[in-house]
Structure 1
Amino acid sequence: MLPAVVKLCCGISYPHIKNIAGKPSTTHRRTFSFLFLFMQTMHSQLRFPKYYKQLSFAEAKPKDIKPVPAKEDQLYVQHGQEAMRKALSVLEEKEGWKLEVAESNGDMICSKVIPGGRKVFRLEAVLDASVDELYNILFVRVEEIHQWNPSIQQIKVLKRIGLQTIVIHEVSTGTAGNVIGKRDFLSVRHTCKQRSSVYIGGAAVQLESLPPQAGFVRAEHGPTCIIIQALDEDSTKSRFTWLLNMDVKGWLPKSIVNQALPRVQLDFTRHLRRRLSLG
């Protein structure tokens, strides 16, 4: 396109140049100056790839200028993404799952032993809520969970990194009939949405500014993941899949922990349903 424009301009100017005699007039000098500047401009433009678009200061808007995330923030995002990837890979595995609980309302919990010897638990349920409603309750308004789940004493968001990643501190009051006593958790949670599904993944992190709290055992989540999917036949209902992967720490026998963790999932889902019924 640019070479054609150059040829066209040169062709238009040729008769004027040809008829120049003697000392060039002011008009002629202006013509030469214009052509010289135009050729320089065309030459500079030809140096850039076709997809290059220069944004002038007049075109730039504040929303176009986004701050560069700090290195620490980038690590949190990467940690959350990696936790989600690992958790999803566990959920995608078809082999090795064993039925633990089958409730009359259709809720089902299966377990699987992952490398390292830890048992993880997968809960599947159908909830009377849209994907957006559950996402809002479980991620956007995560600090309100203690208001409807009595097993949680407090959840505080310590850092928000964009719209998809948060670092939280969670304090439990004791779960599963207080079999697992008071615990606190420090973790990163990362979310993403694909079509009619939302994914929330997470894993434990460490902060020097927030060491284990007195009176609590610092337990660890993850890699863990929640998947919320809209049912094809009813967008007001969602399939809720939760991979619980928890190291409760302390001195509890593994057999007792593995009996208590499915109860943690059932209790959470029961409280969540009650919260949804209140609107």
Structure 2
Amino acid sequence: MLRAVLKLCCGITYPHLRSMTGLQRAALAAFGLELAHLQMQGQMPLPTWIPLRRTEKTEAVEQRTSALVDEDVFYLKQGETALEEALKIVESEDGWQLETAERNGDVIYSKVLSGNRKVFRLEAELNASPEELHEILFFRLEEMHEWNPGIRRIKVLKHVGRNTLVTHEVSSETAGNLIGQRDFLSVRHSSTRESRVYLGGVSTRLESLPPLPGIVRAENGPTCIILYPLQDRPDRSRFVWLLNMDAKGWLPQSLVNKALPRAQVDFTKHLRHRLAAQNSDNNRY
């Protein structure tokens, strides 16, 4: 019965094999490797339609598939680990000091980690549910430049499943940008636990995308955003953002420590404008 199902599946999918990418090919390869493993253990006879002779071509395909799977696992683990490490930082109670308090109620705290790096935790309330913010900040990430003038572009370079992305971000050359133009190569990972949404990130490596000429490649992470509904207003969210960034370059650290909380305030302001525009459009229909 299993043999017949496998024949049917292969007959159906053959025309589409050339168009498969990413995890689809990896899943197909893993399926084939599992069949081979069962056959070697004697749990499944080798079907007559599977070639017995290995060739250089099949070995090369297996090597490429193995490298693809290893790369995906690397990015997935990197994103998961970054999120867990960032949560340990943001949820720790020791060492936080008030950095700034805005009139609208937004508050930013700072803390110095080992290595003398200063991180910043912004807390705010936003007029959107965690699900809506998850959609804007993760699944529609490439649209961020449309509402945030601090971003020139964000490109998703790779999808690892539904909840992990490899992205390239380039900041804008805007007036008042004390840090200057930077680019970031990052792994971003999202996780939903009960009513909370967690977005984690960390810098990563990709040999095919070296730093851009004339732009400093900064590093971030581990960093995270936590989204959860207010107790009496499920349509509104508590927004907690840990910013942990090394701007690189020849900037005085005092200047960077002044610019980063201001960048958080500006980002949150632009996000509110984006939500207001979205709510206005929704009320129109």
TM-score normalised according to structure 1 size:
0.76
Residue of structure 2 equivalent to 1:186: 185
CA distance in 1 between partners of 2:153 and 2:161 (Å): 23
| Mapped contact 1:176–1:264 kept (Cα < 8 A) | no
Residue of structure 2 equivalent to 1:211: 210
Residue of structure 2 equivalent to 1:272: 271
State the aligned residue count. 225
CA distance in 2 between partners of 1:175 and 1:266 (Å): 16
CA distance in 1 between partners of 2:241 and 2:82 (Å): 14
CA distance in 2 between partners of 1:228 and 1:194 (Å): 11
Aligned partner of 2:113: which letter? I
CA distance in 1 between partners of 2:106 and 2:205 (Å): 34
Residue of structure 1 equivalent to 2:54: none
4+ residue runs over 2 A deviation? 54-63, 65-69
| Mapped contact 1:155–1:171 kept (Cα < 8 A) | yes
CA distance in 2 between partners of 1:145 and 1:254 (Å): 27
Cα distance, 1:219–1:175 mapped onto 2, change above 3 Å: farther
Alignment of 1:123-142 (within 5 A): 123-142=122-141
CA-CA distance at 1:175 after TM superposition: 6.5
**What whole-Å deviation, never above 9, does each CA across 1:72-123 have from its counterpart, x for those lacking one?**
0100000001100110000121010000111111100000001111000000
| Mapped contact 1:164–1:192 kept (Cα < 8 A) | yes
Residue of structure 2 equivalent to 1:244: 243
Which one has the largest radius of gyration?
A: 1
Alignment of 1:39-78 (within 5 A): 58=5, 66-67=27-28, 68=30, 70-78=69-77
Alignment of 1:133-212 (within 5 A): 133-174=132-173, 177-212=176-211
Unpaired segments ≥5 residues, structure 2: 14-23, 31-67, 279-285
Aligned partner of 2:155: which letter? K
CA-CA distance at 1:207 after TM superposition: 1.0
Residue of structure 2 equivalent to 1:4: none
Q: Which has the higher helix share?
A: 2
| Mapped contact 1:130–1:230 kept (Cα < 8 A) | yes
CA-CA distance at 1:174 after TM superposition: 4.2
| Mapped contact 1:175–1:264 kept (Cα < 8 A) | no
CA-CA distance at 1:177 after TM superposition: 1.3
CA distance in 2 between partners of 1:151 and 1:176 (Å): 10
| Mapped contact 1:182–1:217 kept (Cα < 8 A) | yes
Matched residue SS, 1:157: strand
CA-CA distance at 1:214 after TM superposition: 0.8
| Mapped contact 1:111–1:120 kept (Cα < 8 A) | yes
CA distance in 1 between partners of 2:188 and 2:92 (Å): 22
Aligned CA RMSD, in angstroms, stands at 2.1
Cα distance, 1:58–1:91 mapped onto 2, change above 3 Å: same
| Mapped contact 1:174–1:180 kept (Cα < 8 A) | no
CA distance in 1 between partners of 2:173 and 2:93 (Å): 32
Matched residue SS, 1:70: helix
Cα distance, 1:55–1:123 mapped onto 2, change above 3 Å: farther
Residue of structure 2 equivalent to 1:256: 255
CA-CA distance at 1:215 after TM superposition: 1.6
TM-score normalised according to structure 2 size:
0.75
| Mapped contact 1:174–1:183 kept (Cα < 8 A) | no
Matched residue SS, 1:189: strand
Cα distance, 1:174–1:114 mapped onto 2, change above 3 Å: farther
Cα distance, 1:233–1:56 mapped onto 2, change above 3 Å: farther
CA distance in 1 between partners of 2:105 and 2:195 (Å): 22
